[in-house]
Structure 1
Amino acid sequence: MNKLTLIKGSDRVASAELGEPFKANEPQGEPVAMIRSKDWREGPDAGVWECTPGKWKRAVKNAEFAHFVKGRCEFHHEDGTVLEIAAGDAVYFPAHTRGTWNVIETVRKTYFLLPLD
């Protein structure tokens, strides 16, 4: 059965409601970015994700659409492209996008992951 999913006020959800923080995969120096995330639905995943400042390599294999609602960061794509992302911006990452995140100011996004083929 198809189900509507509403993530209301994702910019106002308390950080603690997003779960316990965990270290970002493959950190690149200090500080080590800490991530919190909460899924609002199952298969495909959609939810709210938050990350403190730090650098690490992107590990998501799925294609992803993300709308950033707080903070500032950069995404350094492996091809040399640098995206400067701030609250209000939306980004689509094709499947298997590789690169490095640099979170400058704690960011929060709502996201939707597409299933892998």
Structure 2
Amino acid sequence: MPDHTPIPIDSRRIADDEVGKPAVFGAILSGQPQEIHRNIFEGDYGRFRSGVWQCTPGLVAMKDWPYHEFCLLLSGRVIITPEGGSPREYKAGDALVLPMGFTGTWEILETVRKYYAVQARQPLMRRVKERVKGWLRPGAKGGRTTDAQAGAAF
């Protein structure tokens, strides 16, 4: 039987004096950003993960980010600039969603520590199965249901 007990995500899972490894979440453009991450929870066969992440200053280019990611910054400052868009600074206490496919830069001005929750894309076969189930559902037209439940969040 699965355990459904809530799992606390504690920022102290990364020690204040802990040293990371060279950042791999994108191409380093300047500086020597060092990152540390601690996955605290994994679910949905590895598609969903959450935990705590930290990175020291530097400029990193990201291309086609493979997740939908929710971030809550616990400390530090970062300027995020989407490709073709305007830069925006985020600091401790700010929350943001980085959409799957994001391309742009993270300019980490002060060491950033954040809580994160990421959801990866479903494998192709699973997406096809879900689409076919939708088409076979009574009252469905072209994969869309015709009742009021179609707009429900979950």
TM-score of the pair, normalised by structure 1? 0.85
The equivalent residue for 1:40 is 40
Paired letter, 1:51:
C
| Deviation digits for residues 81-109 of structure 1 (CA, Å, limit 9, x no counterpart) | 21200000000011111111100000100
Q: Using the alignment, how far apart are the partners of 2:49 and 2:62 within structure 1?
A: 17
Computed over aligned residues only, the root mean square deviation of the Cα atoms, in angstroms, reads 2.0
Of Structure 1 and Structure 2, which has the larger fraction of its residues in helix? 2
| Deviation digits for residues 41-72 of structure 1 (CA, Å, limit 9, x no counterpart) | 12311010000000011253101000000011
Determine which structure has greater relative contact order: mean sequence separation of CA pairs < 8 Å that are 6+ residues apart, divided by chain length. Answer: 1
Residue correspondence of structure 1 range 6-25 to structure 2 within 5 A:
6-8=8-10, 10=11, 13-15=14-16, 21-25=20-24
Could you tell me the percent identity over the aligned residues? 32
Judge conservation of contact 1:11–1:69 (CA < 8 Å) in 2.
no
Paired letter, 1:5:
I
Q: Using the alignment, how far apart are the partners of 1:38 and 1:54 within structure 2?
A: 20
Judge conservation of contact 1:11–1:70 (CA < 8 Å) in 2.
no
The equivalent residue for 2:56 is 52
Paired letter, 1:34:
Q
- Match of residue 107, structure 1, among 99, 103, 112: 112
Q: Using the alignment, how far apart are the partners of 2:72 and 2:49 within structure 1?
A: 14
Q: What secondary structure, in the 3-state scheme, does the structure 1 residue paired with 2:93 have? A: coil
Gaps of at least 5 residues in structure 2 are 123-154
Q: 1:45 to 1:16 in 2, by over 3 A?
A: farther
Q: Using the alignment, how far apart are the partners of 2:98 and 2:87 within structure 1?
A: 13
CA-CA distance at 1:16 after TM superposition = 5.8
TM-score of the pair, normalised by structure 2? 0.66
Q: What secondary structure, in the 3-state scheme, does the structure 2 residue paired with 1:27 have? A: strand
Equivalent residue pairs, number:
113
Runs of 4+ in 1 over 2 A off after TM superposition: 1-5
Q: 1:99 to 1:37 in 2, by over 3 A?
A: same
Q: What secondary structure, in the 3-state scheme, does the structure 1 residue paired with 2:120 have? A: coil
Q: Using the alignment, how far apart are the partners of 2:7 and 2:23 within structure 1?
A: 27
Structure with higher Rg: it is 2
